[in-house]
Structure 1
Amino acid sequence: MSRAGKRPAESNDQGGNVFHRHLRHPRTGVAAIAVALLTAAAPLSVPAHAAPEAHRQVADDASLTVKTTIGIRGDDLDRLRAQGQQFGAPTPARPTDPQPAERADRYDQRQRVPALSLLDAQQEANRQIAAHPEPARPASEASSPRTMVAAPIGEQPAASHVKECFDAGGADRGIGRVHNRFTYCAKIKMTAEYWEIDNKGIPIEKEGTTTANLEVFTQSDDKERRVRVFSRLERDSVDYDWGPIDNIFVAPYVPLSLISHCSEEFEICHASRGPATMAWITWDNNTRWYYWDVYNHEVVTAGRDKLSFNRWYVSAFTDSREYRTIRPGNSAPRLVRCDSATYFQRFGTRYPKACIFAETIPHLTYDLVSDYTDVSLHIWRAQNDPNDTYPMLAPDGVPWPRDKSIPGKFFPGNNTAPALHRITQELHPTLVQANSDHKNGACYGLPPYGHMYQLTGLPVPPKTPEEQCDEYPFASTLEGAGHPDPENPDFNFSVEAVKQHDNSVAGGKLIAYYVDDRILAWDAGLDQPFEVNDKFYVNIRG
């Protein structure tokens, strides 16, 4: 191929990353591959002195993008071209599957980042949520539950779950789609630029560009402290722009390896299995997913439930006779939180350990049009017109000292609004009892707190077996009727008479939700407990 008109080596890419560097392997002298992977997701914050190259990435809120820069010596490139023209297009080498016995860490040459504290991790999750609000769900899914217990994890993800996540919107923008606390997906635009390098390893001429779409689908586990990261190239998405000869004889047969890693030090997490390697043309005709497990360890943890955060990412690189990776391409790391809470179970099945995706707002959705409409309407009034709910803050005719402020309303993109925190009978018997006593006082005037609500409580309490007293915030939350102190409550709650059937159905949905979204119970022993404990919200959908 003629080299006339080819661009000279550029000193910077669009993101400002300098590529004037030695690309030849220092010992072997073989051609090299240098990979710089840039994504739209803002990188997680790490101390400046400890931040590795992979965490210094450029944000692009329009789409997720990846840029890869690859070097090859001119004599190697000429040999490949000559072989292709003489013998025809080569047969791609057989794909190399990841080896289960291999540790992905041996392929990770980056500097590991320090462990995240619970507070730093939660603040980082809040920033990502605010910067990338959850995309709206399609109208066709309006009646679908948002959350579910983690789906079984196999060697291939369930096609229905893949479709649901990618079709829901947002997988190709922002940070990708955190579909729920157990499912994540992303579609990343890949651009690989190939440069000839001189004897000093400096890029001198651009030889061509290969583009494709990288798909990532990740499931977290509800019985182990791990996430399984699936990856592949979208079928028929690879395009070559090398010139008419190289498009046939060179570009399709360049090898590409994918692998997943964890970001933190080995005592925090590790990834299993080696890389999956095949030629671009083979990736392009492939529909199979390749996976890696990222494990979080019970070594550096906090609190009763052994909490720990770690990050994972997908890496692209090449190691072969012609190519040698100098800097692999690493996607922006995503954040997971793992725990070993012992109190999650349903229908006799226990879920003793789990990891969840932290960059989403956990919320329970109740529908107004449903078989529990009375409860949905009650919560809607409590969240939107709290001053029109009982108990009142002062008797009729007496000026109110302030407005009622009832927490727990879901606001998309706002993970810092006043929230709810789960409590349980087993772990917090005194708090649960206080919530029940104050509810009964406000509804029925019963002791020990009925005297507090003699003039402000529900004027007509439930009287028939078909009615019950419903309270919001729920009795299973720290913010319930007895909050913050049973002897000095703030009265920021609501009680209302509702149908017994509606109350029972809504209560069942709440119990299921705690398991489905892995809502941990309040742990007062954590540092800065209101900032780092699990919280959740309630969304009333009309």
Structure 2
Amino acid sequence: MTSARPRLARLLTGALAGMFIAVVHTPPAAAEPTGPPAPPQVRDVAAVSYLGRPVVDKAGNVTLPQSRLRSSGSTQKSYLDPTTIAAVTPARTPPTEPGGPEVDACLRSDGAKTPAGRVHNRFLWCQRSQLIAVRGTVGTGGTGGTKLSEMTMNYTAVAYGRDDKRRNITVFFKADSVSIVPPKGFIRGNSVLYQRIDCTGDASAPRPSSADGCGSTGAYVAMPIDDWDDGWTRWTIESDASVSQIPDKVLRHQWQFRGYVVDSFNKRLPDASGEKHTMRCDSATIAFAAYRSAACIHDDVVPHLQYSVNDSKVAEVAEHLRCAQDPTCITYPFPGTAKAIPGKYVGGQSESGALHRVRSAKTTSPIADANRAVVRPACGRLPIDVYDTAKGQECDEYPFASTMEGAACCDPPAFDWDFSIRGVDKTMNRCAGNALKKYYRDDRILYQQDAFFVEITDAPPTGPEYCDALLPEEDEQETDDGGGGDPEPDLPPTVNAGPDVSGNEGAAVLLLGSASDPETGRPDTRWTYRPVSGVDAGAECYFAWTNDPRTTVTCTDDGVYEVTLTAYDGVHTVSDSAQVTVSNVAPTFGTPGLRIAADPPEGIGLLSPTPWQVFRKGDEVTVNAAFAEPGANDTHTCVTTWDDGSSSTYTSEDLACHATHRFDRAGMFTIGTTVTDDDSGAGLGSVMVIVYDPWGGWANVDGSYDSPAGALPGAPTAAGEGWLHLAGKYYPQNDLNRPLGTARNWLPGNPYRFDSAGSTLDWLVVTPDNKIAAKGTGTVSGRSGTYGYVLYAYDGPDKVRMVVWPLSAGAYPQGEVVYDNRSAAGYDVDIAEPTTMRSGQALIQRP
């Protein structure tokens, strides 16, 4: 499939460069109860539909459109005018990609725009429809809000039958446009759509042959939603003739699209299936030319032959058939009772009253010969004004001699149909006869197993005019070998699945398969897979292209898998397998490993709380830790340690860890969250928060300390006695969220001097174990700009540390400092490692 090659290159480039990323999401936290009334409940909603838009009510219930169960099959009809079809046509073979006037006409039809699609004729089905996915939450308590994300994909699908000695159909799919609302909700352009073709035996078929024997790959094709418009995706559905036990090895199968979406947070939405479509496959070796001895067609259609009374090539025959099908029109021979002649197409009918093809009189055909034996003497008894050979007429009969319902029909207990004969222009009669043969060929009408009808229209003739007869090699054959003796032996194809390969979960792994056939050059191929060892339940693999020997396979979990490439040349099926070893990739809060969402959140990691975020004692602190995970089948356990002696263990949701906690004392707490997948891979992230207690005490720090060399990067050799001052307190009559206070720091004999701005601090922490930390802003003498500071002090033994940094470098210290007398220590008050004071004291006063 030439149009798909650029996509393969991108997939491989992305996999090798590690550019697939895992998606993150932080759902809204539910409000905690504060007394009656009860808070709203939040209900998760997820749905995918090929059959129309899902309906989500206010309670979060989802109603999916229901399948119409092939209801349109009885009303669809083939549009083949056999008088415009050449006597010699090549066997039908699916193209590399859809296109052409026939496809355009099919897609313009109203039927194409329905969930069932349009069976344009027995070799062409098409559809222009929508695939819709919904994901989100619904507040079911009357409030709480609704957050739904909806993806609507407008797509085109085309399926081709064939009659080139191969029993399969080819289905094509391509997205035309995608709408996602909102653009940064649960479903985004990088969410992944998985699709495959499901195929089973048609147990509801009105005729026999409901055995299975249907071969579809079973593996999904998957790619980001935004990439489904990048050329046509193709599936091949095969039919195993060896399963059938009825004439012509007939099998009927039902196929349908099946798909699901993994949203941008590794949430798998429920699987959905499209309408079922029926395909009929056969290996008829006599009814058709030898090179058409196997075929598959679309069977959800009423086969019918059309003649027009306005077509000068067949007008008299069409007039005869119209009269024959009309109970009020007088025909010969007179039936004696109410006339009952079968085969009239009226639309929406069942197979009752249909015609059924038999071998023609030119071959060994007892039924056709019997029909002619009845018609010949009846024609001789026709009045001269009805049949006159002198006028160049031939005696036309209906139902056709090549049908079971012809003039000799029928022995009890079958219904004894009437028939009609009339003289018509012999040129028109022969043209109509040739058209009937071409119709049998081009609608793939089997002997006795296909019901068909005849429709007489008033349509003007269209297209080129063909009345030429079928060549002998195009006509039905006298024997199974086509009358040409023993056929040439067909050699089996050669297939190679390529070498064993390995890769990581969630990453595309290149498969270098190949296949060839001595007769056809390129046989039909398809990939399948099966888990071998170490594979968790629910794991799946998908191929970039299931029918291309050179493709990629991506598996959602680690383990050992076997991939098999099967080749079929219409006669022989040959397979070869290779082993794919997939390694686990640990979840991470760092560099993404699969795909990343843009907003919200902006990236992966500990998204809340933010570094140095300030909370009051007793406030709820919510951890939202989003991580990357390439293994879509992995499950995850989160553990959050709160740095106060407690921890929380829970299951992740939407590729994120969510937990809440309330600190019962003041301090600086480093919160750590670890996520572990089911294969023991782990990732860790941490963040420090500030918790203050306005009633925990106030601080006074005054005195000196030894300032070491290196404390002042602008004068790295400067060392000596340093001085500092801090006074801070939360005053109830002011703002209990903002303390009052001042701070200063200086080195005698050095131009460095820091003075806090105004009379307020950003925050003040006084811990139960007599530690102090205060943060604010100020100025540095001789320098422009504003600077931040954090002053640490311990009460008993008295120790101090001062950190000053430019606010242009960040809202909290991150490495670039103006002054720090303990630069190697951490910023958490518990590990700040302040210096022992030379003079003065650090004093905490409690309420």
**Equivalent of 2:178 in 238, 245, 265:** 238
Partner of 2:193: 256
Matched, 1:39 2:64: no
Q: For the structure 1 residues 136 and 218, does the alpha-carbon distance in structure 2 shift closer, same or farther, using more than 3 Å as the test?
A: closer
Q: Does 1:414 align with 2:357?
A: no
Per-residue deviation, residues 427-465 of structure 1 (Å, max 9, x unmatched) = 7622111111111111114xxxxxxxxxx8777543227
**Do the aligned partners of 2:259 and 2:271 also contact (CA within 8 Å) in 1?**
yes
Tell me the residue number matched to 2:380. Answer: 444
What's the counterpart of residue 272 of structure 1? Answer: 217
In the TM superposition, what is the alpha-carbon distance from 1:404 to its structure 2 partner? 1.2
Aligned match of 1:330: 273
Partner of 1:501: 427
1:481/1:493 contact within 8 Å kept: yes
SS in 2 for 1:345: coil
1:61-102 CA-partner distances (Å, limit 9, x unpaired): 7xxxxxxxxxxxxxxxxxxxxxxxxxxxxxxxxxxxxxxxxx
Q: Residues 135 and 264 from structure 1, CA distance in 2 versus in 1: closer, same or farther, beyond 3 angstroms?
A: closer
Structure possessing the higher relative contact order (Cα contacts under 8 Å, 6 or more residues apart) = 1
Mapped to 2, the partners of 1:472 and 1:386 lie a distance apart of 16
Whole-angstrom CA distance in 2 between matches of 1:353 and 1:492: 35
**Is 2:92 the counterpart of 1:155?**
no
- Structure 2 gap segments, 5+ residues each: 1-25, 32-39, 54-62, 139-144, 203-210, 459-847
1:404 corresponds to 2:339: yes
Instruction: Write out per-residue CA displacement over residues 348-384 of structure 1, whole angstroms, 9 at most, x where no aligned residue.
Output: x621111121111000000111111110000000001
Residue identity over aligned pairs, in percent, reads 27
Distance 2:298 2:162 in 1: 10
Report how far residue 292 of structure 1 moved.
0.5
1:167-186 matched pairs, under 5 angstroms: 167-173=108-114, 175-186=116-127
User: Counterpart of 1:351 in structure 2: which amino acid?
Assistant: R
Contact (CA 8 Å) 2:196, 2:221: kept in 1 or not?
yes
The question of whether the paired residues in 1 share the 8 Å contact of 2:52 and 2:130 is answered with: no
The question of whether the paired residues in 2 share the 8 Å contact of 1:135 and 1:170 is answered with no
- Cα gap change, 1:386/1:149 in structure 2, threshold over 3 Å: closer, same or farther? farther
- Aligned residue type for 1:429: S
8 Å CA contact 1:410, 1:538 repeated in 2? yes
Aligned counterpart, 2:226: 281
The two structures have a TM-score, normalised by structure 1, of 0.64
Structure 1 pair 250/350, CA: closer, same or farther in 2 (3 Å)?
A: closer
Residues of 1 paired with 2:376 and 2:174: CA distance? 57
Residue 843 of structure 2 corresponds to none
Q: CA deviation at 1:239?
A: 1.2
Distance change >3 Å, CA 60–CA 250, structure 1 → 2: closer
Letter in 1 for 2:441: V
Residue number in structure 2 paired with 1:95: none
- Across the aligned residues of Structure 1 and Structure 2, the Cα RMSD in angstroms comes to 4.0
Consecutive unaligned residues of structure 1, counting only runs of 5 or more, are 12-18, 20-33, 42-55, 62-123, 198-203, 394-399, 446-455, 523-532
Deviation sequence 1:464-501 (CA, Å, 0-9, x none): 27210000111111111111149x99460110010011
Contact 2:399 2:407 in 1 (8 A): yes
- Say which SS state the counterpart of residue 316 (structure 1) adopts: strand
* Superimposed CA distance per residue, residues 232-288 of structure 1 (whole angstroms, 9 cap, x where no aligned partner): 111xx2112126xx17x971222223222313599621213854332222335x3x1
SS of corresponding position for 1:350 = helix
What secondary structure sits across from 1:501 in the alignment? helix
Cα pair 2:172 2:235 within 8 Å, conserved: yes
Note the alpha carbon deviations across 1:7-63, whole angstroms, 9 max, x for none: 96558xxxxxxx6xxxxxxxxxxxxxx65435269xxxxxxxxxxxxxx974377xx
For 2:417 and 2:273, locate their aligned partners in 1 and report how far apart those are by CA, in whole Å: 51
Partner letter of residue 438 of structure 1? V
Larger Rg: 2
CA contact (8 A) 2:174 2:232 kept: yes
Per-residue CA distance 1:307-340 (angstroms, 9 max, x = gap): 2111111122346995264642221221111111
Is 1:226–1:293's contact at 8 Å kept on the other side of the alignment?
Answer: yes
> What is the match of residue 59 of structure 1?
66
Structure 1 residue 194 displacement after superposition? 2.3
What do residues 398-443 of structure 1 show as CA deviations (whole Å, max 9, x unaligned)? xx3x211111000112133411110104876221111111111111
Structure 2 distance, partners of 1:489, 1:270, is 40
Tell me how far apart the structure 2 counterparts of residues 217 and 404 of structure 1 sit (CA, whole Å). 43
| Aligned residue in 2 for 1:225 | 167
Provide the residue aligned with 2:390 in structure 1.
Answer: 464
- 8 A Cα contact 1:366 1:539, kept in partner: yes
Q: SS at 1:238's partner residue?
A: strand
Could you tell me how far apart the structure 2 residues matched to 1:372 and 1:142 are? 11
Task: State how 1:330-409 maps to structure 2 within 5 Å.
Answer: 330-346=273-289, 350-370=291-311, 371-385=313-327, 388-393=330-335, 400=336, 402-409=337-344
Q: Are residue 129 (structure 1) and residue 129 (structure 2) matched?
A: no
Q: Within 2, Cα distance between the matches of 1:332 and 1:339? A: 23
C-alpha distance in structure 2 between counterparts of 1:376 and 1:221, whole Å: 30
Q: Does 1:433 align with 2:374?
A: no
| Structure 2: distance between partners of 1:167 and 1:383 | 32
The answer to whether the Cα contact below 8 Å between 1:261 and 1:270 also exists between their aligned partners in 2 is no
Report the Cα distance in structure 2 between the residues aligned to 1:457 and 1:424, rounded to whole angstroms: 30
What residue identity is the alignment partner of 1:357? H
Find the partner of 1:537 among 453, 478, 485. 453
Q: Secondary structure at the match of 1:379?
A: helix
Q: Aligned pair in 2 of structure 1 residues 429, 321: CA closer, same or farther (>3 Å)? A: same
